[in-house]
Structure 1
Amino acid sequence: MPVASARPVTLRSCERRRLQTMAYGRKTPYQDRVRAQIVLAAARGMSNARIAARMQITVDTVRTWRGRFADRGLEGLADRKRSGRPPRFTPLQVAEVTALACQLPAETGTPLSRWSCPELAREAVTRGIAEALSVSTVRRWLAHDALKPWQYRSWIFIRDPQFRPKAARVLDLYARVVDGLPLGDDEYVISSDEKTSIQARCRCHPTVAPGQARAMRVNHEYDRGGAVAYLAAWDVHRGKVFGRCEPATGIIPFMNLVTQVMTQEPYASAKRVFWVVDNGSSHRGKAAIKRLTTAFPNAVMVHTPVHASWLNQVEIFFSVVQRKVVSPNDFTDLTQIHERLRAFEERYNATAQPFRWRFTTTDLDDLLARLDRHTPDRHTPDRQEQSCTLQAA
């Protein structure tokens, strides 16, 4: 009885490169690696028996994948679709568990703050939704609908009755518009705030530099060396920062920062310099506006709405300082903090550019309208006095 000859295999250059990547790639699954090696060996003219002996697999395995590649090419090396095991749970059971995950545990009488997959599986069995339910099954159901009930994000109600006009004025200034007119070349916008309590934490053991397969190591124990406040003013359109360190925040430290900026050109001779600030105690209310105008007649203070510090662009710069200068905190004393921040300002200003601020008044109106649709019970006749929600910055 004649013996069937091995199927001939001829590779194109692109197929050979793809198979070599599969056969010798570090992250290639084992079964894909074996199939690719079978085809590469067959392309060199090796017999099925020799390939099987060399790779320590059966001749039937070699014959199967050699034949599939000869018939369908690279697509033949993929697993064929299988019908799989019949589902053990009905769509109704899946929907009930998903609906349970979309409820607060307190609403169901469960003494939990958040759901987890083990707790959901346990609660589903307790309620009789299923006789038995594994944690991995619940996790797979939630992943299908992108549900993560163990995570949460904080949010806050807007309390400022003048939120919309205040926010719109700040956004217009970022767009170089004030009272419906474009800003002149001799008008500037400064975003200012304070970063409080930057501590000098002297580690009990020196910080170890990163090495091969090792991250930087910072000792957990430290001695407190005091704290300073870092005040910064960011020129929104010129992309330049002015900063100073003070023992604490307050009216006098803030006015020191204002003096530092306003006594320099081009701000000293500018027509108007708009100072965008939040509602902190250092610059809150009409008294702060009068104090600023008295000291510098060409300065105009503009307040962000309450609970809307995310409208203040200097907060972006503070996030850069936190990532690149403050964390991890390892300063021997307050003098080192002063020197580090001053040196970072010079380094940052050397390449600084204005932030790409894309949130406009149109986006603000769209956001407020969307929040209105989700909070119908909090509407008031006056659009400017409505209560709505915003994600906390």
Structure 2
Amino acid sequence: MPVAVARPISLTAAERHRSKKAAYGHKTAHQDRVRARIVLHAARGQGNARIARETGVHLDTVRAWRVRFADGGLPALAGRKRSGRPRRFTPIQVAEVKALACQRPAENCTPLSRWSVPELAREVVARRISGPVSVSTVRRWLREDAIEPWQHRSWIFITDPDFRRKAEHVLDLYARTWEGRSLSADEFLISSDEKTSIQARCRCHPTLAPGQARAMRVNHTYGRGGALAYLAAYDVHRAKVFGRTEPRTGIDPIMALVTQVMSQEPYARAKRVFWVVDNGSSHCGKKAADRPTAAFSNAVLVHTPVHASWLNQVEIFFSVVQRKVVSPNDFTDLAQVGDRLRASEDRYNATAQPFQWRFTTSDLDDLLARLDQHTADRQEESSAEPAA
């Protein structure tokens, strides 16, 4: 019987370059890499048996790709399209599942506050939207449109009628301007607030330090050692913090902090020192604004809009304190809490840089325009709904 002879393979310079790039490229798919190596070995005149040994694939595989290349060149090495398994779910069923995920469960008499993927998969079957469907399939469908019904974000309406004006004052101060004029070298900006109810939780067992493949371990059971308030004044442009601890917040603790800062240089002889505060009960209203000015003539109190403490940069510092100093809470008593906070101030002031505040008045106008458009759209939707 005649012996089958392997098809001869010859490569052009361009084909050889592309084959080498596919055979040795780090980002080439494994199947494409094997096929390119088979072609390169065949172009060197090697037999199919030897190529199979060197590439680690079956002899029939080598023979098939050798013939494919001989008949169609490099384009023939690409995988052929296959019909694959028929779809189990129609596009309409997929759309109905996504629509269900975008509804609140309570609207459909389901006693849940939010959908989870397993709950959604069970609900799909219960409503006979489709037959049995796996959790991973539902998750894949939701991921296509970035639908995450198990997540939620809170929001609040703007209730301050002077929101734009108050926010603009604060943002202008961050940009070193006030009423259209640049701040001079002897004018300073202080951002101030209170962090309330910092507890001293004495753990019933010592906290274990982290180790290899082990996170820090903090005992859940603790004894309460009381709570205190941490008041801080943050110099926005100099990145310097002044803090104090008090048993509770109020007018006297706030004035004690103001006195602590305004009694030292460079604030004592400064032209003006602006104090950005929120609308807490201890520094809200005209009397609160007059109180620091009466004690220090160069102090100017500037309030953020109502429900806009995010405009107060000291809140960023408080987030650092919460993450790096207070949590996990493991203190024997309030004295240790106070010592830790004061020591952290010194550590922070030694290396701190001003926060890179990027929210400007232009961003504020864009935000307010989006909120106005959102409100208008909601009102239009409400008016379009038929009366019950």
TM-score by length of 2: 0.82
Return 5+ residue gaps in structure 1 as ranges.
23-31, 380-393
Q: 1:340 aligned to 2:371?
A: no
- Per mean C-alpha deviation after superposition, the further-off stretch among 172-181 and 303-312 is 172-181
For 1:367, the equivalent position in structure 2 comes to: 367
SS at match of 1:84: coil
- The answer to whether the 8 Å contact 2:276/2:312 transfers is yes
Amino acid at match of 1:114: R
Per-residue CA distance 1:13-44 (angstroms, 9 max, x = gap): 9777646x99xxxxxxxxx6698689889989
Q: 1:4 aligned to 2:6?
A: yes
- The answer to whether the 8 Å contact 2:22/2:33 transfers is no
- Per mean C-alpha deviation after superposition, the further-off stretch among 126-135 and 323-332 is 126-135
SS at match of 1:197: strand
Amino acid at match of 1:208: L
Q: 1:296 to 1:48 in 2, by over 3 A?
A: farther
- Per mean C-alpha deviation after superposition, the further-off stretch among 270-279 and 198-207 is 198-207
For 1:268, the equivalent position in structure 2 comes to: 268
For 1:376, the equivalent position in structure 2 comes to: 376
SS at match of 2:350: helix
For 1:235, the equivalent position in structure 2 comes to: 235
Distance 2:136 2:369 in 1: 40
Identity of aligned residues (%): 69
Matched residue count: 367
- Per mean C-alpha deviation after superposition, the further-off stretch among 32-41 and 112-121 is 32-41
Q: CA deviation at 1:273?
A: 0.6
For 2:95, the equivalent position in structure 1 comes to: 95
Distance 1:67 1:235 in 2: 76
Distance 1:279 1:207 in 2: 38
Q: Counterparts in 2 of 1:100-119, with a 5 A limit? A: 100-119=100-119
Q: 1:303 to 1:39 in 2, by over 3 A?
A: same
Distance 2:214 2:150 in 1: 31
Distance 2:202 2:66 in 1: 66
- The answer to whether the 8 Å contact 2:228/2:334 transfers is yes
For 1:199, the equivalent position in structure 2 comes to: 199
- The answer to whether the 8 Å contact 2:274/2:299 transfers is yes
Q: 1:6 to 1:343 in 2, by over 3 A?
A: farther
Distance 2:68 2:199 in 1: 67
- The answer to whether the 8 Å contact 1:38/1:51 transfers is no
Distance 1:231 1:198 in 2: 11
- The answer to whether the 8 Å contact 2:23/2:32 transfers is no
Distance 2:295 2:10 in 1: 91
Higher relative contact order (CA 8 A, sep 6+): 1
For 1:173, the equivalent position in structure 2 comes to: 173
For 2:224, the equivalent position in structure 1 comes to: 224
SS at match of 2:242: strand
Q: 1:128 to 1:260 in 2, by over 3 A?
A: same
Per-residue CA distance 1:304-352 (angstroms, 9 max, x = gap): 1111110100000111111111111122222222222222212211221
Amino acid at match of 2:200: A
Q: 1:84 to 1:282 in 2, by over 3 A?
A: same
Distance 1:8 1:251 in 2: 91
CA RMSD across the alignment: 3.3
Q: 1:54 to 1:349 in 2, by over 3 A?
A: same
SS at match of 1:155: coil
- Per mean C-alpha deviation after superposition, the further-off stretch among 186-195 and 51-60 is 51-60
- The answer to whether the 8 Å contact 1:277/1:302 transfers is yes
- The answer to whether the 8 Å contact 1:6/1:47 transfers is no
Amino acid at match of 2:349: N
Q: 1:129 to 1:244 in 2, by over 3 A?
A: same
Return 5+ residue gaps in structure 2 as ranges.
380-388
Q: CA deviation at 1:116?
A: 2.3
Q: 1:294 to 1:38 in 2, by over 3 A?
A: same
Q: CA deviation at 1:118?
A: 2.9
Distance 2:202 2:21 in 1: 58
Q: Counterparts in 2 of 1:138-177, with a 5 A limit? A: 138-177=138-177
Distance 2:79 2:342 in 1: 61
Q: CA deviation at 1:157?
A: 1.8
For 2:278, the equivalent position in structure 1 comes to: 278
Q: CA deviation at 1:129?
A: 2.7
Distance 2:170 2:272 in 1: 15
Q: CA deviation at 1:127?
A: 3.4
For 1:252, the equivalent position in structure 2 comes to: 252
For 1:120, the equivalent position in structure 2 comes to: 120
- Per mean C-alpha deviation after superposition, the further-off stretch among 209-218 and 9-18 is 9-18
Distance 1:187 1:276 in 2: 14
Amino acid at match of 2:6: A
Distance 1:67 1:238 in 2: 74
Q: Counterparts in 2 of 1:313-328, with a 5 A limit? A: 313-328=313-328
For 1:135, the equivalent position in structure 2 comes to: 135
Q: CA deviation at 1:106?
A: 2.1
Q: 1:374 to 1:60 in 2, by over 3 A?
A: same
